[in-house]
Amino acid sequence: MKKEKEIVMSGIRPTGFLHLGNYFGAIQNYVKMQEDYECYFMVADLHSLTTHPDTKELKANVHRVLAENIACGLDPEKVALYCQSHLYQTAELYLYLNMLAYKGELEKTPTFKDKVRQHPDNINAGLLTYPVLMAADILIHRAKYVPVGKDQEQHLEITRTYANRFNHRYEEVFPEPFAFNFNNELVKVPSLDGSGKMSKSENQMATIFLADEDDAIRKKIMKAKTDSGPTLNNSLKPDYIENLFLLMKLVSSSETVKLFEDKFDNCTIRYGDMKKQLAEDMVQFISPIRKRVNDILNDEAYLQKVMKQGAEKAIASAEATMQKVRNAMGLNYF
Q: Of the listed 59, 103, 150, 197, which one is catalytic?
A: 197
Residue 258 is a catalytic residue: no
Does position 257 bind ligand TRP by CB under 6 A?
no
Closest approach of ligand TRP to the CB of residue 42, in Å: 7
- d(C-alpha 292, C-alpha 71), whole Å: 5
Establish whether 200 is a catalytic residue. yes
The residue annotated as part of the active site, out of 32, 78, 200, 276, is 200
- Residue 98's closest CA among 72, 119, 121, 125? 125
Does residue 148 bind ligand TRP (CB under 6 A)? yes
Contact 260, 269 (CB under 8 A): yes
Of 44 and 303, nearer to ligand TRP (C-beta) is 44
Query: At its nearest, how many Å lie between ligand TRP and the CB of residue 302?
Result: 24
Rounded CA separation 261/269 (Å)? 8
Q: Is 237 a catalytic residue?
A: no
- Rounded least distance, CB 310 to ligand TRP, Å: 15
Q: Please choose, out of 8-16, 30-38, 162-170, 198-206, the segment that lies near ligand TRP by the rule CB under 6 A.
A: 8-16
How does DSSP classify residue 82? E
Q: Single out the residue of 38, 45, 137, 281 in contact with ligand TRP (rule: CB under 6 A).
A: 137
Residues 6+ away with beta carbon under 8 Å from 99: none
227-246 residues in contact with ligand TRP (CB under 6 A) are none
Count of beta carbons in the 10 Å neighbourhood of residue 6: 15
Angle subtended by helix axes 110-118 and 153-169, to nearest 10 = 120
Where would I find the beta strands (DSSP E) of the chain?
7-12, 38-43, 80-83, 145-146, 178-179
Q: In the set 134, 189, 286, 307, which binds ligand TRP (CB under 6 A)?
A: 134
Listing DSSP states for 18-62 in one string gives -BHHHIIIIIHHHHHHHHHSEEEEEE-HHHHHTT----TTHHHHH
Instruction: Tell me the closest approach of the beta carbon of residue 72 to ligand TRP, in angstroms.
Output: 17
Of 32, 59, 113, 115, the active-site residue reads 115
Binding site for ligand TRP (CB under 6 A): 9-11, 13, 44, 47, 134, 137-138, 146, 148, 152, 155
